[in-house]
Amino acid sequence: MDIKISALQFTREVKSGNLSAEEFMAKTLEQIQKVEEKLHAFLSLNDNALKQAKEIDKKIKLGQKIGKCFGMPISIKDNICIKDTKTTCASKMLENFVAPYDATVITKLKQQDAIFVGKVNLDEFAMGLTTEFSAYGPSRNPWNTDYVPGGSSGGSAVSVSAFECVASLGSDTGGSVRNPASFCSTVGYKPTYGLISRYGLISYANSIEQIGPLTRTVEDTAFMLNLISGIDSNDDTTVDNHGEDYLKNIDSGIEGKKIGIIKEMIGDGIDPAVLSATKDAISKLEGLGAKCEEMSLDMVKYSVAAYYTITATEAGSNLARYDNLRYGYDFSVEGYEFNSYIEKARKKLGPEVTRRMILGGFVPSAGHAGKYFLKALKVKNKLTRQINDAFKKFDLLIAPTVPILPFKIGEKIDDPVALFLVDINTVTANLTGKPAISIPFAISHGLPIGIQLIANSMDDKLLLQAAHALEKTVKLPEVPI
């Protein structure tokens, strides 16, 4: 039996009785046993996964009604709540936190008979892009275990890439689904803001972040989107997509589509291998009948600074609840006055989160807000106007997902600003609310390169059609694990 199949293949095989959900789950758990010591994708495993798979087979045998996932093993980033399951955000602060309710995406997947094989690693509270800021140790890139897998949804990308599950859910505030997807050679999707409910996603910067799938194929992403998108009364920022079927007509192709090449994302600092992969993607798109043309979004040069100013501010407010009064761990108040108690409580937060909290306290503060936070909001607005104008002329935009190749574990950990700059190509979609996808496109020196396509708000279907067309032109070697 092949555990390297796509989500759609899995559902077809189980549905037709050619594959047993239990056997597949057993193989998946075996694979996890085999590779976890090297990769460390998981923070916790579901002890009932095999039993749940057995139930699926039983239901099929009895001809009972069954959901569209047919017992598919899915991994979940550990900042998404599954009821009665530990949800740590890879932080010592939430080491023993058990979620009291299901996130909406989890409820929806449970209704479709998905099986959550385990919770996967991330940078603490999703702040980072290498998974090195996890309080439980880094995940490793299956293509070369000396290298980072990207982040913050590193565990999601590793688990999909190394066949420890069929699909995963991550969250993308500034690239956290697309960056690890690019570094590990999986598909990673950041939907239009509001397309997927954030209810039950532990907030980092809620005005721009979205849950998104990581899968082996673009079709699998469309399949997942069909199951988890749509309006939710528990999240007022959700938008109604009227039950859109993202799989339908996914083969439409991109004949005649106009694609803008974002100049600012292929400039200084880009790795030559990444540039050449991007050029190759452009010529393949042209070969498929699209018209590609270079264009400019000049506010991109301020996007990283604006992104970190806005996200730190929101994080400062969202993470204020980890004060040991509402959430945290237990220690006695004896001998502390209020401030020293909170200060001690917050010592459980790691260095990167602490840095963001300090920044998030400062940039919106009286006397400084005009220089930092309000200015960042202006950049966000201007960038949004620029990209909206661009979509009057272009159907899609293209850029490499990340301007550089995956780097070695430890290589950039002491240089936060260098790390921030790696986000230059991903944050624009978040700041402007646009949907964006990373697809596996090339391998250079044994390391993956992803290509990013961006569409206008609510053009998610067009984006998936284009990504699917491009994906079909690519043939990559198998991951060497």
Contacts with ligand GLN, residue ranges (CB under 6 A): 126-129, 152, 171-176, 204, 311, 423
How far does Cα 98 stand from its chain's mean position?
22
Q: Which is the catalytic residue, given 134, 156, 176, 229? A: 176
Task: Based on the residue annotation, tell me whether 152 is a catalytic residue of this protein.
Answer: yes
| Cα–Cα distance for residue pair 104/425, rounded to 1 Å | 29
Q: Measured from the CB atom, is 132 or 172 closer to ligand GLN?
A: 172
Would you say 180 and 154 are in contact if contact means Cβ atoms under 8 Å apart? Answer: yes
Q: Measured from the CB atom, is 189 or 204 closer to ligand GLN?
A: 204
**Torsion over CA: 204, 206, 209, 210 (sign):** positive
Shortest reach from residue 191's CB to ligand GLN, in Å: 14
Q: Please report the beta strands in 162-268, taking only residues with DSSP state E, as ranges in sequence order.
A: 167-172, 187-190, 210-215, 258-262
Q: Measured from the CB atom, is 87 or 152 closer to ligand GLN?
A: 152
Shortest reach from residue 360's CB to ligand GLN, in Å: 11
Query: What does each C-alpha distance from 76 to 81, 85, 315 come to in angstroms?
Result: 9, 11, 22
| Cα–Cα distance for residue pair 207/353, rounded to 1 Å | 18
Shortest reach from residue 249's CB to ligand GLN, in Å: 30
| Cα–Cα distance for residue pair 418/412, rounded to 1 Å | 7
Q: Tokens standing for 233? A: 């009364």
Q: Measured from the CB atom, is 178 or 257 closer to ligand GLN?
A: 178
Task: Based on the residue annotation, tell me whether 182 is a catalytic residue of this protein.
Answer: no
Task: Based on the residue annotation, tell me whether 303 is a catalytic residue of this protein.
Answer: no
The amino acid sitting at 285 is: L
Shortest reach from residue 171's CB to ligand GLN, in Å: 6
Q: Measured from the CB atom, is 46 or 311 closer to ligand GLN?
A: 311
Shortest reach from residue 32's CB to ligand GLN, in Å: 24
The amino acid sitting at 52 is: Q
Q: Measured from the CB atom, is 199 or 204 closer to ligand GLN?
A: 204
Sequence length of the chain is: 481
| Cα–Cα distance for residue pair 266/281, rounded to 1 Å | 13
Shortest reach from residue 126's CB to ligand GLN, in Å: 4
Q: Tokens standing for 428? A: 């624009």
| Cα–Cα distance for residue pair 22/463, rounded to 1 Å | 35
Which amino acids are annotated catalytic? Answer: 77, 152, 176
